[in-house]
Structure 1
Amino acid sequence: MENKSEFDIEFRSVTKRYGDVTAVTDVNLQLERGAFVALLGPSGCGKTTCLRMIGGFEQPSEGTVSVGGEAMNGVPPYRRPVNMVFQHYALFPHFDVETNIAYGLRQIRPRLSDAEIRRRVGEALEMVHLGKFAQRRIHEMSGGQQQRVALARAIVNRPRVLLLDEPLAALDKKLRIAMQIELQNLHRELGITFLLVTHDQEEALSMSDRVCVMNAGRIVQFASPQEIYDNPADLFVADFVGKTNRLPVSIETTDGRTGSARLNNGASILLDRPSGIRSGAATLSIRPESIRLLAAGSNGGQLTGRVTHRIFLGASAEYSISVPGVGDILVFADRVAGGPADLFDPGAEVELQIDPDAPRIFYD
């Protein structure tokens, strides 16, 4: 199939219903060739349903799903230029590694020669660093090795799009981080479009070029990882992607660019938003790492409070600060080299310093 479009995947007004339940609502999406995109959202948001519609395991109730400019509605999975790596890999336990990877190649018509199959299987094994494991049985492989076998089986057919359905969920943290790097390297080497479904925010932000955040069957924001994190489209994105403090305030402004936010305890936070602000009730979203902790009496902070909890993380610490009239505020603080003296103990009084451009404003 010749690629007639600059987009490898397109959703045009796609809706998917299961009886009275609408899983996906009027989704429009375009993924450029060679992109690495993460579909991110909570359970039940519709991300896996979108992936399955691309793979051909589900059909849209309305709208069109296209791959490489060709409409895929009604086309069975085995006739689509896509392959999927499932969460539980779906390997054949009674086959060895080589036979698992070669299975899809042996279904191609007209048939490939045995020599061509061996060559392509060998190439796929080398890509995932399993060249010496061709004859190994699946049950003899570790979880990470099985994940690599599943990847090799998916790429050996040279798909236009590789679909990844939470492929790292079953791995421990250390191995998951290692496989994130492997997937990024594999994406650069192959140059094909990767679409990853995950509910792990860190995984989505660290691996992909673009992130598509979904909620309740709809796309909420589609942007770069940095844009998603630094400029969330709404409070759902701000809450779901990373951690944030939500503070109800009353905005006071005179010029539409600068102003102040008055909190429930009467304290005021200066605001500087070049994109414009307006007066009225609002909610401030402030990332924990955007707040600086100062010792009590520094007179450099807008808020004062008391440390109620501290979680030591080695290079940093996570604090919960109780601010009278406001509530608990979460703060992440990088440690200063030199020992434990840079840490605030539970019970300590502190000041919170917030830069004018740190808060994101969401109006009620």
Structure 2
Amino acid sequence: MASASLNDIEFRAVTKTYGSVIAVTDINLEVPKGAFLALLGPSGCGKTTCLRMIGGFEQPSEGAVLIDGREMNGVPAYRRPVNMVFQHYALFPHFNVEQNIAYGLKQMRPRMASGDITRRVAEALEMVRLDGFSKRRVHEMSGGQQQRVALARALVNRPSVLLLDEPLAALDKKLRSAMQIELQTLQRDLGITFVLVTHDQEEALSMADVVCVMSAGRIRQLGKPQEIYDHPADLFVADFVGKTNRVSAVMEADGATLRLSDGSAIPALERQRVASGEAIVAIRPEAIRLTRTASPKDSVFSGTVTHRIFLGSSAEYAVTVPELGDFLVTADRRTLNENDLIEPGEKVFLAFDPATAHVFSASSAA
């Protein structure tokens, strides 16, 4: 009987321990059918442990993992409707492409007819745009081609869920960007659930439609990429997802005024209000306008450029502001209204709209 579950994956109060080490704690998570989920976080945050519990390579110490509404606790990996693409692909070097892809089909019971295996392998190769490569040896292929072979091998069994364990980490930047687009296209075409583990914020934001930010074995925020970036739940998320500038401040007793460490004040909107006392104001580098002349419209600080990184269409500047510290500013060259880049040593002004800032209690900085 088919499951009526709306979710392909569920974690219900899942905890995983290794002896005295707690890898993940009380994880509750629902992944809708056909979603592209990214588990994002620093090394040791528990994201790979979660992936391995979905795949059946680890079992929960407490709680339950469900796939398509069925509890998977105790079910071995080979009996789950799941396949995984590993970081280093784990292809068989003594097999050609066709043999690598067909391997899983040949292990199925009852046995598939050889004609059906050949047809399924051809379909998988076409899916990843490797038609004509069936007899090619793995060592004769580029990194991107090997990754496609690993994808084809994982998809040929038609899993309900595809797990991706940092599959792009070994690729160069240009190829990684191309493969990100290919994976998105493939996921949309197939309509199956993808779960990606990564520590690369740009990769998670650009590929997934749901991002789960993890730290110290817990979920810090779950949401759409834009929501995660524009409305971080706490200071950890603001720091980890993208870049941010921290400014020490005090929320005054009126709850509507933030007093910065240089003595200046900026208004706090309703959504920015935290308990009175020490606070942290977080400002994204692209939310700051860098100019050679002061603007009276917004909060303005003066400082000195100490470093510049030229990025082509934009540039990143490190600016030291007395009593406030160092700021990172990303400036689109077209918005500078200047024919030349600002040089280190120049005096500049930093302007930002206080409404673009995120405010957190200093006690939540851990």
TM-score by length of 1: 0.95
Which structure 2 residues correspond to residues 131-146 of structure 1 after superposition, within 5 A? 131-146=131-146
| CA–CA distance in structure 2, aligned partners of residues 156 and 186 of structure 1 | 13
**1:74 counterpart SS class:** coil
Distance in structure 2 (CA, Å) of the matches to 1:192 and 1:344: 48
SS in 2 for 1:34: coil
- Are residues 1:281 and 2:278 paired? yes
C-alpha deviations, 1:74-120, integer Å up to 9, x for none? 11111000000000101111111001001111111111111111111
- Does structure 1 retain, via aligned residues, the 8 Å contact 2:319–2:327? yes
2:166 alignment partner in structure 1: 166
Looking at structure 1, the residues matched to 271 and 338 of structure 2 have their Cα atoms a distance apart, in angstroms, of: 39
Residue 3 of structure 1: how far off its partner (Å) = 3.2
Alignment partners' CA distance in 2, 1:350 and 1:286: 18
1:351 equivalent in structure 2: 349
Cα distance change, pair 297–228 in 1 and its aligned pair in 2 (3 A): closer
Point out the more displaced range, 110-119 or 265-274: 265-274
1:115 aligns with 2:115: yes
Between the aligned partners of 2:197 and 2:181, the Cα distance in structure 1 is 17
- Closer, same or farther: CA 339–134 of 1 in aligned 2, 3 Å: farther
Does the 8 Å contact 1:8/1:67 carry over to 2? Answer: yes
CA distance in 1, matches of 2:56, 2:5: 19
What pairs with 1:299-338 in structure 2 (closer than 5 Å)? 299-300=296-297, 301-336=299-334
Kept in 2, the 8 Å contact 1:54–1:65? The answer is yes
Checking the alignment, whether the CA contact within 8 Å between 1:162 and 1:194 is kept in structure 2 is yes
One-letter code of the match for 2:261? N
Letter in 2 for 1:266: G
Gaps of 5+ in 2: none
1:179-328 alignment, distance < 5 Å: 179-252=179-252, 254=254, 259-274=256-271, 276=273, 279-300=276-297, 301-328=299-326
**One-letter identity of the residue aligned with 1:261:** L
- For residue 219 of structure 1, give the secondary structure of its aligned residue in structure 2: strand
> Structure 1 297/209 Cα, relative in aligned 2: closer, same or farther at 3 Å?
closer
1-side partners of 2:222 and 2:360: how far apart?
18
Residue 317 of structure 1 aligns with an amino acid whose one-letter code is A
Q: Distance in 2 between matches of 1:338 and 1:213?
A: 34
Distance apart, 1:310 and its partner CA: 1.0
SS in 2 for 1:104: helix
Identity of aligned residues (%): 66
Note the C-alpha offset of 1:302.
Answer: 2.1
Whole-Å Cα distance in 1 between the matches of residues 74 and 170 of structure 2? Answer: 32
Is residue 2:53 matched to residue 1:53?
yes
Query: 1:279 Cα shift?
Result: 3.8
In the alignment of these two chains, the number of paired residues is 361
Deviations 1:249-269 (A, max 9, x none): 012374x6xx33221111223
Cα drift, residue 274 of structure 1: 4.6
TM-superposed CA distance for 1:352, in Å, is 1.2
Q: Point out where structure 1 has 5 or more consecutive residues left out of the alignment.
A: none
Q: Secondary structure in 2 aligned to 1:65?
A: strand
How far is 1:31 from its partner? 0.2
Q: Structure 1 counterpart of 2:310, which letter?
A: F
**1:268-316 deviations in Å (ceiling 9; x for gaps):** 2333345655543211110010011121444455211111111111111
* Structure 1 stretch displaced more, 164-173 or 108-117: 108-117
Gap change, CA 1:160 and 1:271, over 3 Å in 2: same
Separation in structure 2 between the aligned mates of residue 278 and residue 339 of structure 1, nearest angstrom:
40
Using the alignment, how far apart are the partners of 1:104 and 1:357 within structure 2? 54
For 1:91, the equivalent position in structure 2 comes to 91
DSSP 3-state at the match of 1:64: strand
> 245-254 vs 147-156, which deviates more?
245-254
Please, what TM-score do these two structures have when normalized by structure 2? Answer: 0.95
Contact 2:291–2:336, Cα closer than 8 Å, also in 1: no
Matches of 2:326 and 2:257, distance apart in 1? 21
CA drift of 1:349 comes to 1.2
Q: Map residues 17-28 of structure 1 onto 2, 5 A cutoff.
A: 17-28=17-28
Matched residue SS, 1:352: strand
